[in-house]
């Protein structure tokens, strides 16, 4: 049972739910969060190949240009000497001598008010003697005062890069595919069905990837192998509206025509409203339509078709 399927079975998934990559170094890098479950990207790639997940857009992460590490820290440094010995502070400027520095440097223990250490004058009137240009930085190494520090990125292997030197790596945003949704909302319990089939020497596989005559890959939700080695695919059609059902049936007809090695395809419909309509368009030797809201009836019918 794939991870995603087991997640789906306990998760009520919204049609438009998008799963975006998250950086979680404690989980080893990029992960996706499905409710309370966290799944690493590598595992989801397998689900994507099986057709359970589809990528819809992507999210880029910055990586170290030297080692591609995703674990980056932002560091601020002096733009002149690159020292990391900088302090952030409210700045103050003495207009007369243009001395600029952190406000603390203008405070005096002995005198009241502000005092310029450079020209040793008292600063009394804000806007006339002195001003407050805002937040800035001062380098303790070269004494430079600046508003915009050099922004550096350091990876966990201690490679230091400027922000514009970083590379990007994209990871897909995922949505759950129709195949997975179909499986997750099955009327039947795959374990019960597989048990029953097994007792009758019929092998079954969940989510099988098969190559069609056209070269296209198709995912079959369930593939049965009868004792005579004939393969039978089980498909599920879900649809709210008539046009959705017709569209789904049309896709299945194309898929069935491409999968020439499949002896028979069993199509399970929710309810039995449209069974006659589809029976009319599908070749009854190749596509057999089963419909019931009762899982036990479905099990029996599937078994009957498989042992025929
Ligand atoms: Zn690095
Ligand atoms: Zn001064
Ligand atoms: Zn400096």
CA distance 134 to 136: 6
Question: Using DSSP, how many helices (H) and how many strands (E) does the chain show?
Answer: 7, 19
Does some domain include residue 160?
no
**Centre of ligand 2 from the C-alpha of residue 130, in Å:** 9
User: Residues of the chain with pLDDT > 70: what percent?
Assistant: 86
Ligand of minimum distance to the alpha carbon of 64? 1
Q: Could you tell me if 104 and 89 are in contact, meaning their C-beta atoms sit under 8 angstroms apart?
A: yes
Residues 49 and 101 in one domain: no
Ligand of minimum distance to the alpha carbon of 121? 2
Q: Could you tell me if 127 and 120 are in contact, meaning their C-beta atoms sit under 8 angstroms apart?
A: no
Does some domain include residue 223?
yes
- DSSP labels, 134-169: EEEEEETTT--EESSPEEEEEETT--EEEGGG-EEE
Does some domain include residue 162?
no
Q: Which of 51-55, 148-152, 212-216 has the lowest average pLDDT?
A: 51-55
Tell me, what's the pLDDT at 308? 75
Q: Which residue has the higher pLDDT, 306 or 308?
A: 306
Ligand of minimum distance to the alpha carbon of 101? 2
Ligand of minimum distance to the alpha carbon of 167? 1
Tell me, what's the pLDDT at 238? 65
Residues around ligand 3, an ion, CB closer than 5 A: 78, 80-81, 83, 139, 141-142, 144
What is the DSSP pairing of strand 99-102 with strand 231-237?
A: unpaired
What burial letters (b/e) apply to 198-217, b meaning 16+ CB within 10 Å? eeeebebebbbebebeeeee
Residues 37 and 96 in one domain: no
CATH number for the domain that contains residue 230: 3.40.1350.10
Checking if the pLDDT of 9 tops 50, the result is no
**Centre of ligand 3 from the C-alpha of residue 116, in Å:** 22
The winner for highest mean pLDDT among 10-14, 47-51, 137-141 is 137-141
Tell me, what's the pLDDT at 2? 46
**Centre of ligand 3 from the C-alpha of residue 75, in Å:** 14
The winner for highest mean pLDDT among 66-80, 102-116, 229-243 is 66-80
The domain in which residue 98 lies consists of 79-148
pLDDT in tens, 104-114: 999 977 767 89
Sign (positive or negative) of CA dihedral 286, 291, 295, 296: negative
pLDDT in tens, 39-75: 889 888 877 877 778 899 999 999 999 999 999 999 9
Closest CA to 187 of 100, 294, 289, 112: 294
Spatial CB neighbours of 188, under 8 Å, sequence gap ≥ 6: 268, 295, 298, 299
**Centre of ligand 3 from the C-alpha of residue 154, in Å:** 19
| Average pLDDT, integer, range 239-250 | 73
Residues 55 and 98 in one domain: no
Tell me, what's the pLDDT at 135? 96
Q: Could you tell me if 291 and 275 are in contact, meaning their C-beta atoms sit under 8 angstroms apart?
A: yes
The whole-chain average pLDDT of the chain stands at: 84
């Amino acid at each position: 049972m794939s991870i995603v399927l087991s997640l789906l079975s306990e998760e009520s998934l919204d049609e438009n739910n998008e799963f975006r990559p998250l950086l979680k170094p404690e989980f080893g890098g990029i992960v996706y969060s499905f409710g309370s479950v966290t799944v690493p990207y590598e595992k989801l790639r397998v689900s994507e190949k099986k057709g359970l997940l589809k990528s819809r857009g992507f999210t880029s992460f910055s990586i170290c240009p030297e080692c591609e590490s995703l674990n980056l820290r932002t560091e601020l440094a002096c733009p002149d000497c690159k020292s990391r010995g900088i302090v952030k502070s409210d700045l103050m400027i003495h207009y007369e001598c243009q001395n600029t520095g952190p406000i603390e440097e203008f405070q005096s223990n002995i005198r009241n008010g502000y005092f310029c250490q450079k020209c040793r004058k008292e600063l009394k009137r804000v806007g006339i003697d002195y001003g407050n240009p805002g937040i800035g930085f001062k380098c303790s190494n070269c004494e430079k005062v600046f508003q915009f520090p050099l922004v550096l990125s350091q990876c966990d292997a201690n490679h230091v890069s400027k922000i514009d030197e970083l590379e990007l790596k994209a990871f897909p945003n995922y949505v759950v595919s129709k195949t997975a949704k179909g499986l997750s909302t099955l009327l039947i319990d795959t374990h019960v069905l597989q048990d029953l089939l097994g007792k009758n020497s019929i092998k079954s596989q969940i989510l099988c990837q098969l190559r069609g005559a056209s070269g296209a890959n198709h995912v079959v939700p369930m593939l049965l192998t009868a004792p005579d080695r004939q393969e039978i695919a089980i498909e599920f059609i879900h649809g709210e509206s008539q046009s959705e059902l017709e569209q789904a049936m049309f896709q299945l007809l194309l898929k069935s025509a491409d999968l020439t090695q499949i002896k028979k395809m069993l199509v399970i419909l929710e309810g039995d409203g449209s069974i006659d309509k589809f029976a009319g368009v599908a070749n009854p030797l190749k596509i057999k339509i089963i419909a019931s809201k009762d899982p036990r009836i479905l099990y029996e019918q599937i078994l009957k078709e498989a042992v025929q």
